[in-house]
Structure 1
């Protein structure tokens, strides 16, 4: 029997008659039997690979055959826009068997939520982790009644959660929900290809302890998993990958006005500022263009995405907002300006193409000079980054999804949220609340979670009455604004001003842009949503900017970090400099000529006989020597901590460390700590030798992780860590220091 044969008969009928499908795709077929049996699962497939149906059809089958009632399925996504996009499709599927779908997030009105809670409850509820926790702590929602019938949780784009603090938060919230309803929940995660699927499944199930007591499997038919020894750049299904090199965004706009005319093109750029710049340039070239980035209002993004979906000859320019599975219709081309920071991100973007029969996946990379150059004569570092990423991809590499280390602040948040959720919790039996998550494990926190609980009590964040803990006055002061809403979100954003044209919201800009505005002909002009806006007034108290349209060119600026790449991508760059021709990648004449210049420029930084090259003072840098290891940003952060060990440890390193006798004191600081760690090299002091650097790195690597020198973190930096007020300052700084090394 096939998976199709196990589906509920009404679903079978509509799959054939309504959708017109001749059968199920491999992932959908393979998912039916384990999911209808109630197993946990991680479903892997490229973007548009049918993951939504692979999860929903078996779950709807269970719902119909087992007679589930009430809110029995939670469908969790990282983006509200993705939930909105999925609602229509899931409503159709559920309607085939007489079931309903509801959506609950921050943009849904209070009256609509009340109707779901007090009236006819949806069978499937689409929500975010933050909204789920809001339901659990709200005095207006009886969560045990409203959510007590939940049987299954489906987590879309699970990799986007697991590699972030939102993943720790989601894992803990699911554990609290299981504890509240009194039974385990089937957990189904969906993702594009990841580098460590079995680890991700274990995380999804609640950690190693939970994974041994729950049945689960990775389902990925036809997906070439990392380590299989098969290059995705070869074979009949290999995508079409091209690389070009241009000089400016104006040239990019000119090229796109002439290339792929009549097709629907999605262009990814690195920043919101670049979205605005390229969008304006395309408009000047007469191209029908739409924009999407996180600082546009939800309505503005929805307008662009809906219009783009209906057009056939147009361009949409976006940041990573369109990387996840939001449906923007059939797409002909993906153009990537610069290199995504990860192979995983590239695969997400590549998967937006090749959906229609007779089409194939494709991506045109465009390299530009400029901000990513290393401030020397070089102008093509972006081209090297692109080729390095493609080298790692062609070798079959995909990044593993690794939860952020030392989530002490999320553990503190969970204690406070649990107190809000029930009004109080037991200081004796509290561990059972988080039995289904690894968050509170000693190995994760590197301490007993009770130490965090004890700090919350002694600091007044929690107060106790016998064996019961409840919200304290200090927590009210720190997090009590807007009904503790700040306590229910695990991610932070820069302070934002809302931009209005009359009463219409255009989007948001950061406070740093407002502070840096300079007048143009007596006016302040913003660029936002592909248009220019004259500032009429700024309400600093309410953080609102009133504008009107302008014909003058405006300013676009948002904060951004420098390029950060992992070890495998950095090593790909090294291989390219050494002469590797990346298989399956076609270069234009311009790109091929520029690549020869790249190899000539960087050739002194690589060696076939050594993993690192030491360049003395004067070779590239007139004041300092350089250590070129091409080991990735995270590893270079570790090396910087090792080379600056005496400074980061205080007065001096303890004892004789066994360093080589080269005339430099064992406890000497070997590198400047104020340099930004790059993915390729670090600067070291002029008198330092290669042997000294190798010896210090070797010493660092022999230390247990908890005992290694940590980078200096300013006390002011803790304000960027969510929930820092619930921790001692030194613990908050330790979190930031540890995470800078990954």
Structure 2
């Protein structure tokens, strides 16, 4: 068997910068975080010293933890050569590992085991594997930056402290270049000392930003033109959402451009085939989301194309860094932008990168649902144990972040759910339900579901929507799906919506996937606007210090260059405050540069001015959640992590209100605020307005400005048919006209089957001649009332009774107004139908 040192000389002419710095430190068994860009050799910098130290060791001596199964497979292939030549046994374990392979690992454990964070959770409580884990001397955590800003990192942080109860090990983290490396190091090292070993300044990038204005199709055409110009180049075309990936890949395929596609919603087999095709050279071009950002070995790309702005400096670096992998090469990328906002944002990101800026990532600390799961894990590890001892173990993890009284609340909640026994001596023990709960919740990634979209006008299911998208909506908002515009009514087990006759702005159905834009990037866009000085035919340019409020009748556009999360917070708070003021629904949509509001009637300057105040911000932000889909969805996920709900559970706001003073509710609100809101940043903006540090300008207009229309057009991208009201009503009327009905005579029992549009004007029985026809079948007590409606109102009465949810009393109330305008009649009937559907679930049989 050869030594690692001799093998290294065969593979590398000389160490890279990160290898030169890191290897001596790691050979001293010190904890460390290695920070270096893609293609710098940091994997070998961490792995080879550990392999050198594994020589002669028995059992599982090293855990190599990666955030993705695909990375597990990739790492196994990369390690094969080193381990086989050095005589070191190694294996992969994850959810898809076969039963026979698992048995082999139990009976003859490898020296190096490659796992995901979730697999670590499973093997920590395994009866046999737990004994093997006592031999662990080294833990390497790859792609640490991907475990920040989410609860997977929180779970891993506590899991490592549980492992530390049975093993003493060196901790090594690998990360791409990040703004706060000490924060990343604390995630894996907890309170232990560690060194940050930084490769130094990242590589320069060759970047070109290309305009392709004129809608999505024009941008697609420009991408096609670039791909066809130098055919045969190995490229990745990165996009920001799965729906864009599918749309672009479909377009290129129809245009006979040879491409493949890669995103998280595709099966593992399809993704693996694409990865192998890229690495082997059979596939030249792939359209991909962030699924190909991580360090999966796909070989060296010659060029990266980014479709529209990458949204973040960190993503730009990670994506373009996929090209020019060798350290002597310079990564190369083109950003193809489709409108003014994308152009300015791409320029701002390029400038911020050149200035050394990176978005900060914070560890998720104090997550009560994760702490609950890890406490149950400790009870599985140790049997009956003191709650104080459990607190001491978990609090070593940097991500734990709970005070003793907060932890006690978590423990008591687990007791109320009958997952654990709580004893008078402040100890706890596991119940059988607790064992099942632990394995059901090995992952903190929410088990997402699809929501059916029901058309209230026809009472039919028309589409399915991703949960992450539904979570962004509130009743009254306009959104797009299946090429049409809808207005949300309410969320229950389904999403109920009505076709929208028109909308000034909508929320497209990809918005739940899109990458948030940091406040610093949005501010940089504002500065570029001011420095460029391009007026675009307007009198005022909204910039980083000037907020512009445009009022055009019912539409209000607040231009605020403060990023995704600040503007989302502003939007929700303004929506709540204005709805309270007006006593009516207010629709809202936001993006990194504007808040777009739609009022029920023409807006007044003083309403908006009075709502832009910093007082009660957190209170109003929390209150705004009660009108959102996010509260119900995130509460359901959090409740599952506390063992409250099964996979198919459905909940309503009544249950949530009963849980307001519990850890489940508190964690729900904290999770939503952490993901979507920026309360601190929003308060600074509102305080800046109050202190006149920021300028607020109002402008009343007949038509919205260029800067407003850019945002509105972005929202409408991919929605070809916003129907005018007349067209929408005509469509509904035609569908009702084709509805089959049975007319039955209450006198002689004769029946006649017809359609609403072909029914006779004179409602006399064709057999006995009496005017006693009714719609059959129906509730016995309503048959005579329906006959009376047909006698009194004729065809209009039949039309009204054919609308789902409209009974004889409701029909009579509406028809008695004697509408001259049939459109107004139909709108009233549709409103009645909407109320019926909303209230039906509360009725008792």
**TM-score of the superposition, structure 2-length normalised?**
0.64
* 2:428 corresponds to 1:469: yes
* 2:158 corresponds to 1:223: no
* 2:93 corresponds to 1:111: no
**632, 639, 651: which one aligns with 1:716:** 632
Q: Is the 8 A contact 1:45 1:51 kept in 2?
A: yes
Show the counterpart of 2:211.
244
SS, match of residue 578 in structure 1: helix
Partners of 1:385 and 1:669 in 2: how far apart? 36
Unaligned runs of at least 5 residues, structure 1: 1-7, 225-231, 369-378, 498-509, 515-555, 582-595, 652-667
Show the counterpart of 1:452.
410
Show the counterpart of 2:554.
623
Q: Is the 8 A contact 1:134 1:488 kept in 2?
A: yes
Show the counterpart of 2:673.
738
How many angstroms does 1:252 deviate by? 4.1
Partners of 1:601 and 1:565 in 2: how far apart? 27
**604, 621, 629: which one aligns with 2:540:** 604
Higher mean Cα deviation, 324-333 or 418-427? 418-427
Show the counterpart of 1:302.
272
Q: Give the alignment of 1:22-421 within 5 angstroms.
A: 22-64=13-55, 67-119=56-108, 121-138=109-126, 141-181=127-167, 183=168, 185-206=169-190, 210=191, 214-223=192-201, 237-245=204-212, 247=215, 248=217, 250-252=220-222, 254-311=224-281, 314-356=284-326, 359-368=329-338, 380-404=340-364, 406-421=366-381
**379, 390, 413: which one aligns with 1:430:** 390
* 2:591 corresponds to 1:678: yes
Q: Is the 8 A contact 2:373 2:441 kept in 1?
A: yes
Q: Give the alignment of 1:477-492 within 5 angstroms.
A: 480=437, 484-492=438-446
Q: Is the 8 A contact 2:419 2:433 kept in 1?
A: yes
How many angstroms does 1:367 deviate by? 1.6
Show the counterpart of 1:534.
none
Partners of 1:460 and 1:363 in 2: how far apart? 55
Aligned in 2, Cα 1:313/1:73: closer, same or farther, shift over 3 Å? closer
Q: Is the 8 A contact 1:267 1:337 kept in 2?
A: yes
Q: What per-residue deviation string (whole Å, max 9, x for no partner) do you get for residues 572-595 of structure 1?
A: 2212222359xxxxxxxxxxxxxx
Partners of 1:74 and 1:601 in 2: how far apart? 61
Q: Is the 8 A contact 1:267 1:336 kept in 2?
A: yes
Q: Is the 8 A contact 1:338 1:386 kept in 2?
A: yes
Partners of 1:154 and 1:473 in 2: how far apart? 33
SS, match of residue 15 in structure 1: helix
Partners of 1:318 and 1:127 in 2: how far apart? 25
Aligned in 2, Cα 1:68/1:245: closer, same or farther, shift over 3 Å? same
Partners of 1:409 and 1:631 in 2: how far apart? 31
Aligned in 2, Cα 1:254/1:412: closer, same or farther, shift over 3 Å? same
Show the counterpart of 2:499.
none
Aligned in 2, Cα 1:108/1:473: closer, same or farther, shift over 3 Å? closer
Q: Give the alignment of 1:568-587 within 5 angstroms.
A: 568-579=520-531
| CA RMSD across the alignment | 3.5
Partners of 1:603 and 1:353 in 2: how far apart? 43
Higher mean Cα deviation, 391-400 or 421-430? 421-430
SS, match of residue 22 in structure 1: coil
Partners of 2:326 and 2:4 in 1: how far apart? 24
Partners of 1:75 and 1:675 in 2: how far apart? 46
Structure with the greater relative contact order (CA < 8 A, sep ≥ 6): 1 or 2?
A: 1
How many angstroms does 1:716 deviate by? 2.0
Aligned in 2, Cα 1:512/1:73: closer, same or farther, shift over 3 Å? same
Q: What per-residue deviation string (whole Å, max 9, x for no partner) do you get for residues 653-678 of structure 1?
A: xxxxxxxxxxxxxxx79998752443
How many angstroms does 1:10 deviate by? 2.0
Q: Is the 8 A contact 1:408 1:735 kept in 2?
A: no
How many angstroms does 1:352 deviate by? 0.5
Aligned in 2, Cα 1:44/1:150: closer, same or farther, shift over 3 Å? same
How many angstroms does 1:710 deviate by? 6.2
Q: What per-residue deviation string (whole Å, max 9, x for no partner) do you get for residues 121-154 of structure 1?
A: 211110001011111233xx42431101111111
Partners of 1:677 and 1:558 in 2: how far apart? 14
How many angstroms does 1:157 deviate by? 0.5
**392, 397, 400: which one aligns with 1:440:** 400
* 2:1 corresponds to 1:12: no
Show the counterpart of 1:505.
none
Aligned in 2, Cα 1:180/1:645: closer, same or farther, shift over 3 Å? farther
Q: What per-residue deviation string (whole Å, max 9, x for no partner) do you get for residues 632-689 of structure 1?
A: 12223444566578699xx9xxxxxxxxxxxxxxxx7999875244322335763337
Q: What per-residue deviation string (whole Å, max 9, x for no partner) do you get for residues 33-61 of structure 1?
A: 21111211111111111111110112123
How many angstroms does 1:360 deviate by? 2.1
Q: What per-residue deviation string (whole Å, max 9, x for no partner) do you get for residues 366-416 of structure 1?
A: 123xxxxxxxxxx54333332333233233210111123551111122122
Aligned in 2, Cα 1:573/1:394: closer, same or farther, shift over 3 Å? same
Show the counterpart of 1:687.
605
SS, match of residue 448 in structure 1: helix
Q: Is the 8 A contact 2:183 2:363 kept in 1?
A: no
Aligned in 2, Cα 1:23/1:251: closer, same or farther, shift over 3 Å? same
Q: What per-residue deviation string (whole Å, max 9, x for no partner) do you get for residues 253-288 of structure 1?
A: 531442221211111112222222222322233332
Higher mean Cα deviation, 266-275 or 249-258? 249-258
Q: Which has the larger radius of gyration?
A: 2
Aligned in 2, Cα 1:313/1:63: closer, same or farther, shift over 3 Å? closer
Q: Is the 8 A contact 1:104 1:125 kept in 2?
A: yes
Partners of 1:250 and 1:53 in 2: how far apart? 39
Show the counterpart of 2:547.
613
Partners of 1:179 and 1:707 in 2: how far apart? 44
Partners of 1:405 and 1:636 in 2: how far apart? 24
How many angstroms does 1:437 deviate by? 0.3
Q: Is the 8 A contact 1:441 1:449 kept in 2?
A: no
SS, match of residue 383 in structure 1: helix
Q: Is the 8 A contact 1:263 1:333 kept in 2?
A: yes
Count residues with an aligned counterpart.
596
Partners of 1:59 and 1:239 in 2: how far apart? 35
Q: What per-residue deviation string (whole Å, max 9, x for no partner) do you get for residues 311-343 of structure 1?
A: 267211111110001111121110111222321
Q: Is the 8 A contact 1:91 1:100 kept in 2?
A: no
